[in-house]
Amino acid sequence: MESSNLLRVAAFMRDRESAASLSAVSGAMSRARFEIYSGSLAQALQASAAQQSPDAVLLEIDPQEAENTRDSVSVLGEAFPGTPVIATAAGAELEYTRLLMRLGVLDLIPQPIEHHELLSVLDDVRRRAKRLTAPHRPPSRVVAFLKAGGGCGATTLASQTAVTLATRRTQKEPEVCLLDLDMQFGAAALSIDLDDRVCLNDLLEARERIDGALMRSVMGHHESGLDVLAAPRALMPLDTLTKEFVGDCLALARAEYQTVVLDLPLAWTAWTFAALKQSDLIVLVAQLSVSSLRCVRRQLQGLQEHGLGGIPLRLVLNRNDRSWGAASRRREAEQALGRRFDFTVVNDERTVREALNRGVPVAKVARWSRVNKDLRRLADGMALALAGGSEVLAVPPKASGRVAMSEAR
Ligand SMILES: Nc1ncnc2c1ncn2[C@@H]1O[C@H](COP(=O)(O)OP(=O)(O)OP(=O)(O)O)[C@@H](O)[C@H]1O
Ligand SMILES: [Mg+2]
């Protein structure tokens, strides 16, 4: 791409009419120059050979002709290796969008092409190019959310803090992503009102040719700038995922994003172990109940026994009750665990339920609430730990500590 930031786009439209509509929309763009061709792709490619190679290719396709689309995308891949391909079509169904994604197409712009949609896709191309050429990109970081028992609030805390981290970015780059690897019961995308029809399953089906562009294309985009990979809707066995596949996904996510947040299932498997091993920070979410505290101990022990005890860990007490009695129960729990809770998030059913029902961040429901303050503190703590700030390593629980509380629920 030229230093002036002018984006060159070669557009291959099916006929003169659609070429004219594109010309009407793209003509006013000051930061992009379009070479628009119409008619047969073979002839258009010949004509385009005389031009400087483009930064992106736009291809008009017919959703009724899947085979033709496959051929055209592969011909373009050969003609412009490494150049992002954007598709445009009228009335493409979801199935068709999936096909495009598998073919490595960066995005689909529905027709009639709207000026703002074209702008947004081109911005994406620009960001990609910048990322690929960025000289000193700081290393990316992975935060894994683990839970001490089902329903502790791990997904809520993971999605809320991921939104906060994404919102804080100075540029609106989607540099924070949340991968919902709780593949059987994951609901991270829905918790912030993102479509989960394209999901982890699509990445799995395309595992042979998974790359950064493909990974981005299966993400839901939240307005905060957060990208979310949804868990599959259908129930699938946990061992559908392998440690090799999860390793590849994490490597790609690290290459594409600055911060990668993982929502992991409760069960330990070879691939969850592999994911934890690659993590720079573990956030273990618990509640103040006997069963959850037992689970904290098991998780901490498991981490130690599997050689993961050196990974910085933050223990979060969610749904914290702020009454005096609860404070003494918390201290008892901390004694039994042999470590303190690093963060607490207050129990606020009304606010959290409303945020989840509306699919919006808690900050939008009750900005000045205690729960929002606690979530912000947790996000701050995560950012600090990821930046290498004062680390509190997972302290092994005392072997003799009994997990029992006087008024345990
Ligand atoms: N701080 C909180 N105050 C009140 N309710 C909360 C809080 N955090 C989470 N919840 C509620 O707890 C329930 C479970 O939350 P969530 O789905 O995030 O837990 P999870 O640990 O991911 O569960 P799962 O085992 O299903 O993955 C949700 O209904 C959510 O509204
Ligand atoms: Mg969950």
- pLDDT tens digits for range 46-90: 888 877 889 999 999 998 888 899 999 989 988 888 788 999 999
170 and 108 in a common domain: no
Q: Which residues pair with 402 in a beta bridge?
A: none
Cis peptide before 112 (omega within 30 of 0): yes
Range of the domain at 128: 7-133
Cβ distance 254 to 177 under 8 Å?
no
Residue 320: how many CA atoms within 13 Å on its side-chain side?
A: 22
- List the one residue out of 213, 154, 208, 212 whose CA is nearest residue 186: 154
Residue 331 located in a structural domain: yes
88 and 194 in a common domain: no
Give ion ligand 2 contacts, CB < 5 A: 155
Residue 397 located in a structural domain: no
Query: Which three-class secondary structure state does DSSP give residue 60?
Result: strand
Domain count, the chain: 2
* Ligand 1 contact, 186 CB (< 6 A): no
Nearest atom, ligand 1, residue 159 CA:
18
Q: Is the pLDDT of residue 2 over 60?
A: no
* Ligand 1 contact, 260 CB (< 6 A): no
The CATH number covering residue 205 comes to 3.40.50.300
156 and 126 in a common domain: no
Residue 358 located in a structural domain: yes
The CATH number covering residue 99 comes to 3.40.50.2300
Q: How far apart are CA 87 and CA 230, in angstroms?
A: 23
pLDDT tens digits, one per residue of 167-218:
887 654 558 999 999 998 999 999 999 988 889 988 988 888 888 888 888 8
Q: How far apart are CA 163 and CA 157, in angstroms?
A: 10
Mean pLDDT of 350-377: 94
Residue 62 located in a structural domain: yes
- List the one residue out of 382, 386, 376 whose CA is nearest residue 160: 376
Nearest atom, ligand 1, residue 347 CA:
3
Res 341: pLDDT: 97
118 and 148 in a common domain: no
221 and 119 in a common domain: no
Pocket test for ligand 1, best of 156, 291, 357, 358 (most atoms within 8 A of CB): 156
Residue at a domain's end among 75, 104, 133: 133
Q: Is the pLDDT of residue 223 over 90?
A: no
Buried b (16+ CB within 10 A) or exposed e, 364-392: ebbeebebbbbbbebbbbbbebbeeeeee
Q: Is the pLDDT of residue 117 over 70?
A: yes
Distance 152 CA to ligand 1 centre (A): 5
* Ligand 1 contact, 180 CB (< 6 A): no
* Ligand 1 contact, 357 CB (< 6 A): no
- The pTM score is 0.74
For residue 107, name the pLDDT band (cuts at 50, 70, 90): confident
Mean pLDDT of 16-30: 92
DSSP 54: P
Nearest atom, ligand 1, residue 182 CA:
27
Supply 101's token pair: 């994604």
User: Residue holding tokens 């008009």?
Assistant: 60
Residues in the chain: 409
Residue at a domain's end among 98, 133, 168: 133
259 and 112 in a common domain: no
Distance 234 CA to ligand 1 centre (A): 21
